[in-house]
């Protein structure tokens, strides 16, 4: 059997058993032996994510990662080697890594980082004057209603909640396919309340060094408390759970615990920090943050329905010169498009009109013909999400948590698409 055939065989085998770590390691080693280092690194990174890199592989993987500029992976290897108490080669790898980081213009990693002072992590609040409002968000009436009930009303009318003995506090976790307005809604919530908006992307909080992610998260909440009253938005909340899964052993729960502690503190001192979070992968979010008083409301943010798409088209086409357009008819052609997809579609049509304006002179208005041409080749970017979601709600909807998704998957728009398959390439 030739080397290439062996690799092909291994690649096919791992496709069939993606969770077989031993097999993946064999494939990675075969790839490295064959000089396919980048592909080898992809598999090693997956093993590292799963906490399944054997001790003996940590340093060699770190070195290989470093050689190819994959600093994050290299840092993770250093970290794991330290935690597992593997002395050989760690110091040298760490030194090389630090050199690489400095060359990259990134500040030196420090083992015991001093997070006080200017380097301190913390989002800058965006003042209310720059905010969107619910009027800027097309459709999503139910979602706006839920946010109003859970977040805005308790803030604006605490007296009501007191008189009726209704517990206030607790955040809302928005979830759904990308590009459908979660971030926009969070900004709009701040706008509706006239409050500053703090946007924290969990990805940016994460750091391979033990303790640094927790310190970053704490700093984010501190800066929210300092700006209170304000809206604090935690985007990509699933990244916390992801970080936990890839980080086995002692430090594993630390970041989730830190989050819970911060959320509970906010609930307790009624500090006027309104918390919203968002995720594309609600099934990856731990249960603990979803308990009462924390993110006890999970709200599905679906792709815009027909009326919402019409509204988004209307918004996007309000400024440029347009011919007579039947927006309702146009909206029917964009089933399952996310808000971002609709926006992208209009931008393409505008580009076509601009091209013609440049070629012919005189302002060429956007016509339905431009819209039609701009639509060609566009597919909804929500399809992958819907297909993943379908697997989860069919197999992991024990508590009825994803009933809203289930109902959405039964709508005519989804069902008629499903006949053609939910995957993009079909
Ligand atoms: N319902 C909507 N109404 C108006 N614009 C929308 C809507 N949904 C998405 N958009 C547009 O798409 C962009 C991306 O949306 P975003 O809120 O970032 O999505 P998500 O956070 O869900 O990934 C927004 O900035 C906005 O231009
Ligand atoms: Mg977003």
Q: Ligand 1: which of 340, 346, 384 to mutate, judged by most atoms within 8 Å of the beta carbon? A: 340
* 139 pocket-lining for ligand 1 (C-beta < 6 Å): yes
Ligand 2 center to residue 200 CA distance, Å?
A: 11
Question: Using CA of residue 258, residue 260, residue 262, residue 265, what is the dihedral sign?
Answer: negative
Ligand 1 and 308: CB distance under 6 A: yes
Report which of residues 198 and 422 the model is more confident about: 198
* pLDDT single digits (tens) 344-402: 999 999 999 999 999 988 889 999 999 999 999 899 999 999 999 998 888 777 778 88
Residue having the nearest C-alpha atom to atom 27 of ligand 1: 340
Cα of 304 from ligand 1 centre, angstroms: 10
Looking at residues 23-50, what average pLDDT do you find? 93
Residue length, the chain? 426
Are 203 and 239 a contacting pair, CB within 8 Å? yes
The pLDDT of residue 291 is above 90: no
What does the pLDDT read at residue 270? 53
In b/e form, how buried is each residue of 353-362, taking b as 16+ CB within 10 angstroms? beebeeeeee
**CB distance 133 to ligand 1 below 6 Å:** no
Strand partners, 48: none
| Domain ranges within the chain, ordered by starting residue | 3-103, 128-300, 306-375, 383-418
**pLDDT tens, position by position, 394-420:** 877 777 888 899 999 999 999 988 877
The pLDDT, as a whole number, for residue 285 is: 83
Q: Is the per-residue pLDDT at 71 higher than 50?
A: yes
Specify the range with the lowest mean pLDDT, choosing from 55-59, 75-79, 110-114, 406-410: 110-114
The closest-lying atom of ligand 1 relative to the alpha carbon of residue 301 is 22
**Which residues does 154 contact at the CB level (< 8 Å), separation at least 6?**
161, 168, 169
Contact 354, 375 (CB under 8 A): no
What's the confidence (pLDDT) of residue 199?
93
Percent of the chain with pLDDT over 70: 88
Query: pTM of the entire structure?
Result: 0.71
Q: Which atom of ligand 1 is nearest to the CA of 304?
A: 1
Query: Residues of the chain with pLDDT > 90: what percent?
Result: 47
Average pLDDT over the chain reads 85
| Confidence class for position 272, pLDDT limits 50, 70, 90 | confident
Superfamily holding 128-300: P-loop containing nucleotide triphosphate hydrolases (3.40.50.300)
What's the pLDDT score for residue 99? 77
Cα–ligand 2 centroid distance for 189 (angstroms): 14
211-249 pLDDT, tens digit each: 778 888 888 888 888 888 899 999 999 888 766 665 555
> How many CA atoms lie less than 13 Å away from 203 in the CB half-sphere?
6
Query: Per-residue pLDDT for 320 more than 60?
Result: yes
Specify the higher pLDDT residue, 210 or 189. 189
CATH topology of domain 3-103: 1.25.40
Q: Is the CB of 306 under 6 A from ligand 1?
A: no
Pairing of β 172-175 and β 197-201: unpaired
Instruction: Indicate the class that CATH gives domain 306-375.
Output: mainly alpha
Does residue 112 carry a pLDDT above 50?
A: no
Smallest-distance ligand from the CA of 302 = 1
pLDDT of residue 43: 96
**Helix (H) or strand (E) segment spanning residue 394:** helix 383-395
- Ligand approaching nearest to the C-alpha of 143: 1
Report residues near ion ligand 2: CB below 5 Å. Answer: 182-183
């Amino acid at each position: 059997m030739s080397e290439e055939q062996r690799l092909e065989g291994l690649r096919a085998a791992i496709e069939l058993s993606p969770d077989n770590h031993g097999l993946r390691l064999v494939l990675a080693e075969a790839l490295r032996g064959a000089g396919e280092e980048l592909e080898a690194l992809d598999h090693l990174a997956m093993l590292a994510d799963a906490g399944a890199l054997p001790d003996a592989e940590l340093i060699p993987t770190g070195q290989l990662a470093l050689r190819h500029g994959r600093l994050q992976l290299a840092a993770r290897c250093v970290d794991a080697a330290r935690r597992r108490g593997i002395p050989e080669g760690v110091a040298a790898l760490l030194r090389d890594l630090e050199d690489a980081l400095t060359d990259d213009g990134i500040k030196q990693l420090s083992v015991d980082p001093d997070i006080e002072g200017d380097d301190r992590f913390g989002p800058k609040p965006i003042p209310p004057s720059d905010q969107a409002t619910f009027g800027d968000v097309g459709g999503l009436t139910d979602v706006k209603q839920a946010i109003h009930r859970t977040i805005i009303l308790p803030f604006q009318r605490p007296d009501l909640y007191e008189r009726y003995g209704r517990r206030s506090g607790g955040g809302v976790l928005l979830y759904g396919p990308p590009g459908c307005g979660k971030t926009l809604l969070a900004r709009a919530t701040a706008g509706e309340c006239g409050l500053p908006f703090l946007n924290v992307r969990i990805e940016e909080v994460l750091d391979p060094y033990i303790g640094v992610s927790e310190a970053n998260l704490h700093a984010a909440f501190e800066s929210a408390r300092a700006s209170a009253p304000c809206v604090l938005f935690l985007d990509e909340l699933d990244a916390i759970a992801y970080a936990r899964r890839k980080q086995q052993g002692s430090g594993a729960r630390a970041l989730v615990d830190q989050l819970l502690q911060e959320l509970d503190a906010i609930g307790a001192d009624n500090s006027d920090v309104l918390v919203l979070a968002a995720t594309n992968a609600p099934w990856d979010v731990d249960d603990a943050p979803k308990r009462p008083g924390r993110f006890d409301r999970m709200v599905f943010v679906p792709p815009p329905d027909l009326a919402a798409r019409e509204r988004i088209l209307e918004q996007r086409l309000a400024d440029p010169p347009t011919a007579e357009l039947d927006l309702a008819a146009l909206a029917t052609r964009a089933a399952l498009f996310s808000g971002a997809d609709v926006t992208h579609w209009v931008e393409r049509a505008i580009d076509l009109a601009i091209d013609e304006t440049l070629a012919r002179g005189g302002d060429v208005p956007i016509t339905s013909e431009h819209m039609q041409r701009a639509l060609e080749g566009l597919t909804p970017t929500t399809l992958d999400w819907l297909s993943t979601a379908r697997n989860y709600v069919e197999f992991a909807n024990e508590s009825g948590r994803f009933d809203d998704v289930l109902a959405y998957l039964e709508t005519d728009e989804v069902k008629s698409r499903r006949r053609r398959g939910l995957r993009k390439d079909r």
